[in-house]
Chains A and B, each alone.
Chain A
Amino acid sequence: MRTTLWIWICIGVLYGGAMDSSEAKIELGHRLFYDADLSINGTMSCATCHEQKNAFTDGNIAHPGALGHEGKRNVPGLSNIGLFKNLTWANPYVSGLAQQALMPISGTNPIEMGMSGYEDEIAKRLRQNECYQKLFALAFGEEEESINLNNVTQALESFQKTLISNDSLYDQKIKNHQPLPTKEAQEGEKLFFGAAKCNLCHTAPLFSDDDFHHVQLHKLPIDNKTEDNGLFEATGKVKDRGFFRTPSLRNAALTAPYWHDGSAKTLIEAIQQHNLTINHKLSEKEMQKIVAFIQTLNDNSFVTNPKFGKPSNDCTH
């Protein structure tokens, strides 16, 4: 009996401290997410636009690329992004977060990190770093070519799948069967799930139905940009013109400005821009109540968790 116990202790010591390949992928993805060597001139990492304090958005209407090209759409938040089937604002054909990562890295519409035609440069840069050599080996095996763009995007996917936000006041209310802390938020919750029917598209628990809709009031594009045709650009189907994916409302109070074009500075403005019959009947006070409810979807632990923040320079492997 005692011998068996010692064997288990030894196994624990030997393997408990070691990192398995899934953990290594997550840690590798975490480092890569904050590494500006993924951009052409080393000025831009994923985290340049996806800042943790803003629930992985950046507070701008759209972010210019590494070479100064205009941003096309508002930076989407990454709360629970691993649970979404449809990624980005308006593209149903992106197969997963690994494929999506290529859009900012080497995409050309818009040019963001500017690596189109220079993809091999990424592996060359990363191979210079001893920590990456160890992490890629742990995550993908010792093969000589394990440091490659495909594995970079796989690791980024692994990290982004850990970006779970489920500890807001609303979540705590559900877990503990307690009411929301303020009367305004309680009334906002009733409206959200009741008369205002917000939940039809902003469906709990993701607070998005992960589907595409055309619900924005028609207006001229801001900043002299040409009109954004949304889903039509990916599908080529006329009926998809103006359709965009429902954004999640988790941590939405931290992710202004709103809509794909960043045209709403506040949540109230964002609500007002819905071209829905029900919207036209909502009073200013009712909208404020809905906003008070949306604010209870803020998850402080999500925006302060060091596991999602900038990694230390030290390499512990």
Chain B
Amino acid sequence: MKKALYIGLLCIGLFAKEVDLSAELSAWKSLSYKTAAKDSNGTLSAILELNKASYVGLINTPKIQYVSRPTNEGGSVSYGGMFQVEIKQKGIYRVSLGNASWIELVKDGKLATSAAHQRGPQDSGIRKIVDYALESGVYTLQLSASGDSATALLITKIK
């Protein structure tokens, strides 16, 4: 399984076309591997750092106990998982994703509202970009309804 993920990482590096990414997305070009958590305890060791892109391994949906039931949970053959991310400063944050998984950020049981969403630049390997207005604090980032068992993920502060 892990081998396949590393091959995936290599493929992204080899075949992604050179695209002029904006400054906040330039970190997309170097990915490190991380495994998603399947429950709230697991998020303590599934920590995302701002401005560092990760190639994340996801979990089969029926095995996941989300902190908050996702709006789009995904079916039994889909994948998902959770991560923890610490937001030190209030602001607008951008989540960039390599596939079309459903993204939700949860803090104290409440979902953060998305401020904008768009597709990634053509040939960048970024499929989906969603911006959120976040307060400082620790958030759980939930990915759900993913068609792939792994994808790339990056969080950046844009304002």
Contacts and interface: CB of A to CB of B under 8 A. Distances in A.
B56 interface: no
B72 A36 contact: yes
Contacts of B146: 43
Contact of A43 (B69, B71, B145): B145
B69 A313 contact: yes
Nearest to A129: B76
Given A42-B74, A125-B75, A313-B69, A36 B100 contact: no
Given A43-B147, A45-B72, A125 B77 contact: yes
Interface residues of B, number: 15
A3 interface: no
Contact of A38 (B61, B71, B73, B75): B75
A contacts with B: majority SS:
loop
B68 interface: no
A85 interface: no
A27 interface: no
Contact of B147 (A42, A125, A310): A42
Interface in A243-258: none
A68 interface: yes
Given A42-B61, A64-B100, A37 B147 contact: no
Interface of B: 61, 69, 71-78, 100-101, 145-147
Interface string A44-56: 1101100000000
A48 B147 CA distance: 14
A41 interface: yes
B77 A41 contact: yes
B144 to A, nearest CB: 9
Contact of A42 (B69, B71, B77): B77
A310 B77 CA distance: 19
Given A36-B145, A125-B75, 10 more contacts: A35-B75, A36-B72, A37-B76, A41-B147, A42-B61, A43-B74, A43-B145, A44-B145, A66-B147, A68-B100
Interface residues of A, number: 20
Q: Identify whether the interface residues of B are mostly helix, strand, loop, or mixed.
A: loop
A143 B72 CA distance: 32
Interface of A: 35-39, 41-45, 47-48, 64, 66-68, 125, 128, 310, 313
Contacts of B69: 313
Nearest to A313: B69
A64 B101 CA distance: 13
Given A42-B61, A43-B100, A44-B145, A36 B71 contact: no
Contacts of A66: 147
B134 to A, nearest CB: 22
Contacts of B76: 37, 42, 125, 128
Contacts of A310: 71
A125 B77 CA distance: 9
Given A41-B78, A42-B61, A67 B147 contact: yes
A68 B98 CA distance: 12
A39 B147 CA distance: 10
Top 10 closest A-B pairs, CB basis?
Answer: A42-B75, A42-B78, A37-B75, A41-B147, A36-B75, A42-B77, A43-B147, A43-B145, A36-B74, A42-B74
Contact of B78 (A36, A64, A67, A128): A36
A35 B145 CA distance: 11
Nearest to A39: B75
A45 B76 CA distance: 12
Contacts of A313: 69
A7 to B, nearest CB: 44
Contacts of B101: 43
Contacts of B74: 36, 42-43
Contacts of B100: 43, 64, 68
Give the interface centre of A44, A128, A313 by most chain B CB atoms within 10 Å: A44
Which of A36, A38, A39 has its CB near the most chain B CB atoms (within 10 A)?
A36
Nearest to A44: B145
B62 to A, nearest CB: 9
Contacts of B147: 41-43, 66-67
12 contacts: A36-B72, A36-B73, A37-B75, A37-B76, A37-B77, A43-B75, A43-B100, A43-B147, A45-B75, A48-B72, A67-B147, A128-B76
A296 to B, nearest CB: 27
Contacts of A125: 75-77
